[in-house]
Chain A
Amino acid sequence: SQQGEEDPQALSIQEGENATMNCSYKTSINNLQWYRQNSGRGLVHLILIRSNEREKHSGRLRVTLDTSKKSSSLLITASRAADTASYFCATVPASYNQGGKLIFGQGTELSVKP
Chain B
Amino acid sequence: NAGVTQTPKFRVLKTGQSMTLLCAQDMNHEYMYWYRQDPGMGLRLIHYSVGEGTTAKGEVPDGYNVSRLKKQNFLLGLESAAPSQTSVYFCASSSGQAPSYEQYFGPGTRLTVT
Contacts and interface: CB of A to CB of B under 8 A. Distances in A.
Interface of A: 2, 4, 30-31, 33, 35, 40-45, 48, 50, 88, 92, 98-107
Contacts of A4: 42
B105 A43 contact: yes
Interface in B68-113: 90, 92, 94, 96, 98-108
B105 A99 contact: no
Contact of B102 (A42, A48, A103): A48
B108 A42 contact: yes
Contacts of A101: 33, 45, 48, 58
Contact of A100 (B41, B44, B94): B94
B40 A106 contact: yes
A103 B92 CA distance: 13
A88 B45 CA distance: 15
Given A48-B100, A48-B102, A98-B50, A104 B42 contact: yes
B43 interface: yes
Nearest to B105: A42
A29 B103 CA distance: 17
In the A-B complex, list the 6 residue pairs whose CB atoms are closest, starting with the nearest.
A100-B101, A42-B105, A106-B42, A104-B43, A104-B42, A43-B105
Contact of A42 (B4, B31, B99): B4
